[in-house]
Amino acid sequence: MAMMRSLIAGCGGYLPERCVPNAALAAEFGIETSDEWIVERTGIRQRHIAAPGETASAMGSAAARQALERAGIEVSAVDAIIVATATPDSAFPATAVRIQQQLGITRGFAFDIAAACTGFVYALSVADAMIRTGQARCALVIGTEVFSRILDWTDRGTCVLFGDGAGAVVVTAGEGEGKSTDRGILSTHLHSDGRHGDILLVDGGAGSTGGTGLLRMAGKEVFRHAVSKLAAVVDEALAANGLGHGDIRWLVPHQANLRIIEAMGRKLNLPRERVVVTVGQHANTSAASIPLALADAAGRGMIERGDLVALEAIGGGLTWGAALVRF
Ligand code: ACO
């Protein structure tokens, strides 16, 4: 039976110019840490940090432009912009509307989604639903973050883990037969559980403290939830499509920590070379990490037409989710 499918037509990324290797955190930022400690525990080797005045919207616009260019789609075709960010330029206008303006788009609609590191999977899920119900035909789905501005630079347990950047995908309306061999987003699976809200949070906000607050994390607790919840949600996605571990061509995980990523690869019986890993170069860019990793893999020509790609993420909330996409 013919049905609407949302196709990923192109992926783009943007990283701020300034790249800070681990060693510079000790030497220049005065943080009591070492390259060895960070690499051994997280796999992170460097992160990019936004320039003063460089915003989530500016970075998101740059990533969107690259995604549109790679897709061969004109800006004028875009009728929806959905931005996942925990570091918006301001409470409003939404970062998505600022990006709409920066791209010179005056039709359609644009709005933000807040689901921390899972934000991109949430945004992709919303875009997919809107495309399949005919509310949009060409959506930009963007993850963009300037976490450097919400880090406590005196807390070495968190400030070494994050970086700034943006990633974007162009999602267009297509057709399929309702089968797992269709091209496009096969399904998305979202979860949240607010009982764990205090293990990863920003401790302030416009509506509570009046300020922005800083990121706080109980790292071990987050780690404990991550692997089991991520493995379960990917299995849920595969089962919903009658697929198994062996059908996954690429795992594009949220890039928080190499140990979590490797544990996921083992749980899914995937050889290392089937897992896209960018955490070493980008660190954790929260909602930007999956689209940045997708853009990186696509830019290297790794993902081919027909490949089944599994996306998964977990973040503050807790929120977690997965998507299966056939390119
Ligand atoms: N450099 C050097 N030493 C450090 C640093 C640092 N940057 N940070 C902490 N330490 C020290 C601590 O002070 C402690 O020293 P002590 O034993 O003398 O007290 C020691 O290292 C161990 O600290 P822990 O916090 O217990 O370190 P742990 O082994 O738990 O590793 C880490 C911390 C890497 C954050 C780990 O818990 C983790 O990977 N958690 C997963 C969470 C994650 O990746 N979150 C990312 C954001 S969430 C998301 O995106 C899903």
The answer on pLDDT for 225 being more than 90 is: yes
Q: Which two tokens stand for residue 64?
A: 């969107």
Output the pLDDT for position 243.
98
- The per-residue pLDDT for 229 is 97
Per-residue pLDDT tens over the stretch 104-133: 999 999 999 999 999 999 999 999 999 999
Domains of the chain: 3-176 (3.40.47.10), 184-326 (3.40.47.10)
pLDDT digits (tens, 9 = 90+) for 124-170: 999 999 999 999 999 999 999 999 999 999 999 999 999 999 999 99
Residue type, 215: L
HEC per residue, the chain: CCEEEEEEEEEEEECCCEEEEHHHHHHCCCCCCCHHHHHHHHCCCEEEECCCCCCHHHHHHHHHHHHHHHHCCCHHHCCEEEEECCCCCCCCCCHHHHHHHHCCCCCCEEEEECCHHHHHHHHHHHHHHHHHCCCCCEEEEEEEEEHHHCCCCCCHHHHCCECEEEEEEEEEEEEECCCCCCCEEEEEEEEECHHHHHHEEECCCCCCCCCCCCEEECHHHHHHHHHHHHHHHHHHHHHHCCCCHHHCCEEEECCCCHHHHHHHHHHCCCCHHHECCCHHHHCECHHHHHHHHHHHHHHCCCCCCCCEEEEEEEECCCEEEEEEEEC
Gap from CA of 73 to ligand 1 centroid (Å): 43
Q: Is the dihedral of CA 138, 295, 277, 244 positive or negative?
A: positive
Which of ligand 1's atoms lies nearest the C-alpha of 159? 7
Measured from the CA of 257, which atom of ligand 1 is nearest? 44
Parallel, antiparallel, or unpaired for β 80-84 and 18-21? unpaired
Out of 117, 159, 196, 282, pick the active-site residue. 117
Per-residue pLDDT, 240: 98
Q: What are the pocket residues of ligand 1 if the criterion is a CB atom closer than 6 Å to any ligand atom?
A: 33, 37-38, 41-42, 117, 156-157, 160-161, 200, 217, 219-220, 222-223, 226, 256-257, 284, 314-315
CB contact at 8 A, 284 and 85:
no
Distance 161 CA to ligand 1 centre (A): 9
Query: How many angstroms does the Cα of residue 218 sit away from the middle of ligand 1?
Result: 9
286: Cβ–Cβ under 8 A, 6 or more apart, which residues? 86, 87, 116, 117, 119, 143, 145, 147, 162, 315
- Write the pLDDT tens digit of every residue in 235-294: 999 999 999 999 999 999 999 999 999 999 999 999 999 999 999 999 999 999 999 999
Give me ligand 1 centre to Cα 235, in Å. 28
Q: What is the mean pLDDT of the chain?
A: 97
The fraction of the chain above a pLDDT of 90, given in percent, is: 98
pLDDT digits (tens, 9 = 90+) for 34-51: 999 999 999 999 999 999
The verdict on whether 11 is a catalytic residue reads: no
Among candidate residues 48, 189, 196, 254, the one labeled active-site is: 254
Q: Please report the pLDDT score of residue 6 as a whole number.
A: 98
Which ligand 1 atom sits nearest the alpha carbon of residue 33?
1
Determine the pLDDT at residue 194: 98
Query: Is 191 part of the annotated catalytic residue set?
Result: no
Q: Is 254 a catalytic residue?
A: yes
For residues 71-96, average pLDDT: 98
pLDDT at position 1 is 78
- Residue 53 pLDDT grade (very low, low, confident, very high; cuts 50, 70, 90): very high
Substitution site in 222, 277, 289 for ligand 1 pocket (most atoms within 8 Å of beta carbon): 222
